[in-house]
Homo-oligomer: A and B are copies of this chain.
Amino acid sequence: MAEYPPLTADEVNVLREIGQRWGSAFRDRRPRQTELPLDPTLGRYPPTPTPTRFGRLAPIEMFRAEKPDELVATVRAGIPESRLGRALARVRRVVLGPPLTSAALLYERMRKLVALPVLSSDLLSSVAYGPEAMLTILALAGSSALGLSLPIAAALVVLMIVVGLSYRQTIPAYPHGAGSYIVASDNLGRRSGLAAAAGLMMDYILTVSVSVSAGIHAVTSALPALTPLTVPLGLLMIAVLLAGNLRGVRAAGTIFAAPTYLFLGAMVLLLGVGLAQVAGRGFTPTPPPPVPAVEGLSLLLVLRAFSSGATSMTGIEAVSNAVPAFRAPEWRNARTTLTWMVSLLIVMFAGLMVLIHLDGVVPRPEETVLSQLAHRTFPTGPWYVIIQAATALILLFAANTAYNDFPRLLFFMARDGYAPRRFLHMGDRLAFSNGIIALSVGAGLIFFAFGGKTQSLIPLFAVGVFLAFSLSQAGMVVHWRRVRGRHWRRRQAVNGVGSLLCALVMLTAAITKFAAGAWVVVIVVPAIILLALGIRRHYNTVERALRLHPPATTARKRLVPTPAQPANGATGNAATQETEESPQEVRHLVVVPVARFDLAALRALAYAASLGSTAFAVHISPDEEEADRFREQWENWGDHLRLEIIVSPYRAIIPPLAHYFATLHTLRPDISLTVVLPEIVIRHRWHELLHSRTPQRLRRALRHLPGIVITSVPIHLSE
């Protein structure tokens, strides 16, 4: 949960060493530190409500003092101070519910009968679009080509069995969670792991887009009047998923169980009654209505149909991701559940393919194949509506599973430094808000870009999924060679075949559907890998820069007096010049840029002088005349601080000051330069146009100079 890993033993030792160097000079001052002028626990004051500038909230309502040096912030302390911030917090609370404390985080273990529906909605719902995707491609070559659907389906069933067996072996090997990212990183190296992660990210985003679009299609098949609203309805559904998941509703198993079992029941009913009807007429296939061929039948077309049909397998990895969520013995329960799931998938997929063939159903854009089958099987009665509703519902729940998996994947990547650290944080409802928002934005964009059409989205789908599958299985091949153990050669062979088949499907999909949309994935996956590597590189840089070094080396550098060593003053020294780690190493020089005598300038001067360190003031003048006038005022005031005037005859202000401070630092890099800037804080944004904002611009220019500390002394306008 923590953004940064805890300190290592080495680092703790370094910390202790550094601390000892503080101690030597600091020990005698220590008592002063405990005698603070006020009580930081806010506790010594009576707990009667006192008005603060946030209205009549008592501090005690914002913080509770529990231990001598510890406060606990209440919900109120989390509400921002600004009016806009408070209003937004209120809206947020209404939509997402009140914040939850970290202590409310519960881990739930699932029984198999609960795990099955929770984890299988993604996989089983795929039959709502997979068979149709395959037939849509075949139909391009005319009705006669539809006869090929059965052999292709048989090949897919073989693929399902192989991948299922392959994942069965992964589960006991990675009982703490066998996500493709982890397995591939572990065994094949970080680039492969990132490739698997990129494939999975595309998978999850497309699971949401495709499931939502297929769900909407199930609805519009029953209610064609809604067809023109496909895109807004889909975006609304994604927004509902977003809000629901930001609320962090941990859907209890039973909620998930209902639609999955409903869908299973509906499918059993459809297949049973349908096959019985077909049996009634002696299994004679109804010839499909004539479909004009727009392409010749070719191997390419068959491969395209195969890789489209393979989208029926998306979601098969769900169990292996979730092994730790099962009751003990986790891996065994998980493996059994996987077997059930794959069996159910094969039965449903094969049954549907046979029934479609025998009924002569042909895909049509305005009505799904499933809807046609249901219409044909149940021309009257409520059954048709129940089947469509169950289909739409399970698809919605399938989209929801991506909302669990995507943020978790980003969490794992962020923990390894391959994704922004913000994906490590839980929002105030204990959900990984940033990942949830990222998924919704990605899915919403893709859904919108492809007009919410399932068949346009399918070409993007298979590549990422089978890339992740293939890398995960390949990782297992390496794993078995490393671990050995009983039957390791056989296991390796199973995973090897699985990996190879998945790689073939992936390549097939990428090549045959390149123009139809797979190019998006072919571009995005490497882009994600490069981005992840860049992110990791940056975090490594930051970590190196911030790592604690043993003070010995620093001491050597620091304690040798270097009054003027400008020869080394190049940029490379910037980092080493910022290593003061104990207070006695810090030698101060305070500089106050003064534009004119007003309250803001006097406060800054008083603040600088009161620090007790050496201080002087700098004034920048456009000409000698103004310089003389200012010097006269300075003497009127009493000439309490040394004044240095810079005449800037070209009227530039910021660059000369920045160069001046940089030069001071170059001349004496051992001195800590503090620039005290008076800053006028303005209440209305448009008023900023009326000010030159010199302090802000100076701060921006100085930020990039090493060894310069910037202190803002604010003065607030009351109106």
Contacts and interface: CB of A to CB of B under 8 A. Distances in A.
Given A103-B623, A711-B710, A712-B710, A41 B571 contact: no
Contact of A606 (B30, B42, B580, B663): B580
Nearest to A627: B70
Contacts of A222: none
Nearest to A672: B607
A77 B648 contact: yes
A602 B666 CA distance: 23
A518 interface: no
B659 A16 contact: no
A522 interface: no
How many chain A residues sit at the interface, stated as a range, is 35 or more
A5 to B, nearest CB: 10
Given A62-B663, A422-B692, A612-B612, A53 B655 contact: no
Nearest to A588: B610
A581 B598 contact: no
A652 B428 contact: yes
A631 to B, nearest CB: 8
Given A63-B663, A100-B650, A701-B80, A7 B692 contact: no
**Residue in A30, A650, A656 with the greatest tally of chain B CB atoms within 10 Å:** A650
Interface stretch (A118-126, A352-360, A634-642): A634-642
Interface stretch (A272-280, A490-498, A533-541): A533-541
Nearest to A584: B610
B714 A710 contact: yes
A420 B18 contact: no
A718 B81 contact: no
Contacts of A664: 38, 40, 42
Interface stretch (A181-189, A190-198, A330-338, A542-550): A542-550
A54 B662 contact: yes
A614 B32 CA distance: 7
A71 B645 contact: yes
Contact of A715 (B81, B545, B681, B690): B545
A16 B638 contact: yes
Given A4-B596, A599-B545, A607-B709, A78 B656 contact: yes
8 interchain residue pairs of minimum CB distance = A19-B638, A78-B652, A101-B649, A583-B610, A586-B610, A546-B598, A583-B609, A99-B650
Given A51-B569, A715-B545, A689 B81 contact: no
A572 interface: yes
A81 B701 contact: yes
A668 to B, nearest CB: 5
A75 B649 CA distance: 8
B645 A574 contact: no
A142 B714 CA distance: 70
Contacts of A662: 52-54, 81
Interface stretch (A20-28, A108-116, A449-457): A20-28
A481 interface: no
Contacts of A717: 541-542, 545, 575
Contacts of A63: 646, 656, 659-660, 663
A616 interface: yes
A415 interface: no
Contacts of A708: 714
13 contacts: A2-B626, A6-B629, A33-B616, A38-B589, A38-B671, A41-B644, A52-B569, A77-B648, A80-B654, A80-B655, A102-B622, A428-B650, A572-B718
A641 B658 CA distance: 34
Given A51-B567, A623-B103, A703 B681 contact: yes
A578 B716 contact: yes
A704 B718 contact: no
A718 B651 contact: no
A650 B103 contact: no
A680 to B, nearest CB: 7
Interface in A293-307: none
Contact of A703 (B33, B575, B714): B714
Contacts of A516: none
A596 B607 CA distance: 29
A667 interface: yes
Contacts of A580: 603, 606-607
A179 B683 CA distance: 35
Contact of A569 (B50, B66, B679): B50
A425 interface: yes
A366 interface: no
Contact of A616 (B11, B36, B600, B626): B36
Interface string A678-719: 011100000101111000000101011110111111111111
